[in-house]
Chains A and B, each alone.
Chain A
Amino acid sequence: MKIKEFSIKTLREAIKNGKISVFEILDEVEKEIKERDPLIRSFISTRIDEVRAEAKFLLKENENYFKNDELKLGGIPIAIKDNMNISGERTTCGSRILENFIAPYDATVVKKLKESGALLIGKTNMDEFAMGSSCENSTFFKTKNPINLEYVPGGSSGGSAACVKAGFVLGSLGSDTGGSIRQPASFTGIAGMKPTYGRVSRYGLVAFASSLDQIGPFGKNVEDTALILSVIEGYDENDSTSVNIPRGNYNDSFKKDLKGKKIGVIKNIEKENMDSSIQTAMNESIKALEKAGAQIIEVEIPTLEYVLSIYYIIAPAEASSNLARYDGVRYGLRIKGSSLRDTYRLTRDVGFGKEVKRRILIGTYVLSSGYYDAYYSKALKARNLLKEDFKKAFETVDVLFMPTSPSVAFKFGERKDPLKMYLSDIFTIPANLAGLPAISIPIGVDENNLPIGGQFIGKQFREDEIFEVSFNLEKILRG
């Protein structure tokens, strides 16, 4: 049986029962990547030989190592977005400026995955510094959508979505600043979730916009996604935004039905810029949720129409500050100039791609003297209004349901105008701005067989509730 036909849950059983060994798994993963990834190009680097050696070492100590019940991901092939550190491996962030950067330590999430027995197969392609919605902004190459190679896989975590869809691995990690997990999950027809801000440590994640960034899992289904989250979450003193709360208990989420669940749908959502197939799929899902006993309630998020402006002020502002560290002195690319200042300026011109420069410049502008109040401070205020809108909505509903993206996957080169590209993020950004957990699951396909994603947004730290409703909807839709 092929690895790609397993879920994490079923492969774990097979490993525990001795039906398959980690070496058989690694051989097959290696073969599949060798055969099919040259077309899809989801990986920037792979490390299968290293994993094999690590596994050999562990098994020498204890021949039943991977059969241990406590290892939640023992023997499960997992991929990591290339903006998170695996000690001794390159972390390129899809950028020329970090092309040869070797991570000196493990990110907390990587450490946790290793401790859970996961096989960390490789690092996946992404839009440079996670800035993009199509994976076209990677300095190295474009990742293709495994469903149809003419289409983008979404972004910025496009590689992490593509390698799960292609079946090279059973799960992966992405990072989500404005939709970078959920939108590619939607474009490739898998599950992807962004946890509540503060649930997962970002120590060892390359910072983009620190008030928004959050690491989260991709999986083939809701349960696998929850399982990965349960491994990577938890308080970490190395991330000052990490919140010290008990770990979530997600197992119970998969035992409940939808009776009495209050699901909010947003009344003032702009339908004119949305594919009609997405509206149809949304309506069918709403009907299915209702039939299963959920109560559908209309709510308003009046600030919704301003989220793109808010986000594209705040995120670049934070990025312009975070990316100031790339100066060619202590690590990364250095292009020698006539003075130190000239070296900085040349290094950053050559090292950063077009979109990254665009965002650093926007961020610098909105923070600069004379413009701070009109842009940055105004956006912070508007963000607080949005948070209030969500708070009010969650007084009457348990979760919110909306599309993940206003469109299905688009073709390469189709969105050259940056503003048009930014529009892809309109439905994913709100959860980041408000710090809320959200999950995207496939809810249908359009006439070209391209997947459509539906998104559930939950209350702060109520991942259990979005797992519960998305699991039930997934079950109904799979029939």
Chain B
Amino acid sequence: MKKKLEETDLLHISSLAFIKLQDKEKEELLKDLDNILNYFENLKELDTSTVSDNPYLEGLGLHFREDKEGETLKEDKVFLNGPRIEDNFFVVERIVEE
């Protein structure tokens, strides 16, 4: 049996995932995630000692397009979606302290 998922584990992964969880969400998530992770335990029955974990589908390797100039997205269309734009820059909170 796997170790029960604790609140500290949940806080660790939510910080890795950059999601600030509200207190009211935590309890339910903890229970759901623990159940789901328990369900995954059945994989342990499978003997995979001789199998590769290559993630690519057979015969379908990735390929690159030809290296040639092409059209890119127009600035006005891209900046249209920016939550805060000034002089064609995306503005965010200050990162470096004064």
Cβ-based interface call for B66 (8 A): yes
A336-390 CB contacts (< 8 Å) to partner B: 336-346, 348-349, 352, 354, 357-358, 360-362, 364-365, 368, 375, 377-382, 384-385, 387
- Give the contacting residue for B53; candidates A330, A342, A381; CB below 8 A: A381
A306 close to B46 (CB less than 8 A) = yes
Given contacts A240-B64, A343-B93, A345-B20, contact A334 B83 (CB under 8 A): yes
Contact with B along A427-446 (1 / 0, CB 8 A): 00000001100000000000
Cβ-based interface call for A27 (8 A): no
Cβ-based interface call for B73 (8 A): yes
Q: How far is the CA of A345 from the CA of B18 in the complex (A)?
A: 5
Q: How far is the CA of A342 from the CA of B58 in the complex (A)?
A: 42
Interface stretch (choices A54-62, A99-107, A271-279): A99-107
Interface of A is mostly: helix
Q: How far is the CA of A240 from the CA of B21 in the complex (A)?
A: 35
- Taking CB as reference atom, which chain A residue is nearest B73? A104
Contact with A along B10-50 (1 / 0, CB 8 A): 10111011111110010001001101110110110010100
Contact with A along B61-98 (1 / 0, CB 8 A): 01111100000011001101111100000101111000
A419 close to B35 (CB less than 8 A) = yes
Q: How far is the CA of A263 from the CA of B58 in the complex (A)?
A: 23
Q: How far is the CA of A308 from the CA of B9 in the complex (A)?
A: 23
B19, B48, B74, B92: which has the most chain A beta carbons within 10 Å?
Answer: B19
Interface stretch (choices A142-150, A246-254, A309-317): A309-317
Cβ-based interface call for A238 (8 A): yes
Cβ-based interface call for A467 (8 A): no
Cβ-based interface call for B8 (8 A): no
Q: How far is the CA of A460 from the CA of B12 in the complex (A)?
A: 41
List the B side residues contacting A332 at CB < 8 Å. 81, 83
CB distance from B15 to the nearest CB of A (A): 8
Given contacts A211-B55, A303-B46, contact A362 B36 (CB under 8 A): yes
Q: How far is the CA of A183 from the CA of B32 in the complex (A)?
A: 24
CB distance from B88 to the nearest CB of A (A): 12
Cβ-based interface call for A418 (8 A): yes
Given contacts A105-B73, A309-B42, A327-B18, contact A384 B54 (CB under 8 A): yes
CB distance from A304 to the nearest CB of B (A): 12
B17 close to A358 (CB less than 8 A) = no
Cβ-based interface call for B60 (8 A): yes
List the B side residues contacting A349 at CB < 8 Å. 19-22
Q: How far is the CA of A352 from the CA of B29 in the complex (A)?
A: 14
A290-343 CB contacts (< 8 Å) to partner B: 303, 305-306, 308-310, 312-313, 320, 324, 327-334, 336-343
Cβ-based interface call for A46 (8 A): no
The interface size bin for chain A is 35 or more
List the B side residues contacting A303 at CB < 8 Å. 46
- Give the contacting residue for B39; candidates A240, A308, A346; CB below 8 A: A308
Cβ-based interface call for B57 (8 A): yes
Cβ-based interface call for A237 (8 A): yes
B60 close to A197 (CB less than 8 A) = yes
- Give the contacting residue for A375; candidates B12, B13, B18, B40; CB below 8 A: B40
Given contacts A237-B66, A377-B53, A387-B58, contact A382 B46 (CB under 8 A): yes
List the B side residues contacting A230 at CB < 8 Å. none
- Give the contacting residue for A104; candidates B40, B46, B62, B80; CB below 8 A: B80
CB distance from A435 to the nearest CB of B (A): 4
Contact with B along A180-201 (1 / 0, CB 8 A): 0000000000000000011000
A360 close to B65 (CB less than 8 A) = no
Q: How far is the CA of A305 from the CA of B41 in the complex (A)?
A: 12
Q: How far is the CA of A381 from the CA of B16 in the complex (A)?
A: 25
List the B side residues contacting A100 at CB < 8 Å. 81
A364 close to B53 (CB less than 8 A) = no
List the A side residues contacting B19 at CB < 8 Å. 345, 348-349, 352, 357, 360-361
Q: How far is the CA of A176 from the CA of B33 in the complex (A)?
A: 24
B52 close to A384 (CB less than 8 A) = yes
Given contacts A102-B81, A312-B36, contact A435 B43 (CB under 8 A): no
Q: How far is the CA of A306 from the CA of B74 in the complex (A)?
A: 46
Given contacts A365-B37, A377-B53, contact A346 B20 (CB under 8 A): yes
List the B side residues contacting A333 at CB < 8 Å. 83
Given contacts A243-B60, A364-B13, A382-B43, contact A337 B93 (CB under 8 A): yes
Cβ-based interface call for B51 (8 A): yes
Q: How far is the CA of A364 from the CA of B17 in the complex (A)?
A: 7
Cβ-based interface call for A45 (8 A): no
Q: How far is the CA of A238 from the CA of B52 in the complex (A)?
A: 29
List the A side residues contacting B93 at CB < 8 Å. 336-340, 342-343
Cβ-based interface call for A241 (8 A): yes
List the B side residues contacting A382 at CB < 8 Å. 43, 46, 48, 51
Please, could you name 20 A-B residue pairs with CB atoms under 8 Å apart, sorted by A? Answer: A104-B77, A104-B78, A104-B81, A197-B57, A237-B65, A240-B64, A306-B42, A312-B36, A312-B40, A329-B83, A329-B90, A337-B93, A348-B19, A354-B25, A357-B19, A361-B10, A375-B40, A380-B55, A384-B54, A417-B35
12 more A-B residue pairs beyond the given contacts A330-B82, A345-B20, A382-B46, with a C-beta to C-beta distance below 8 A: A104-B77, A197-B57, A198-B60, A241-B60, A306-B43, A328-B83, A331-B81, A343-B93, A349-B21, A352-B19, A361-B29, A378-B46
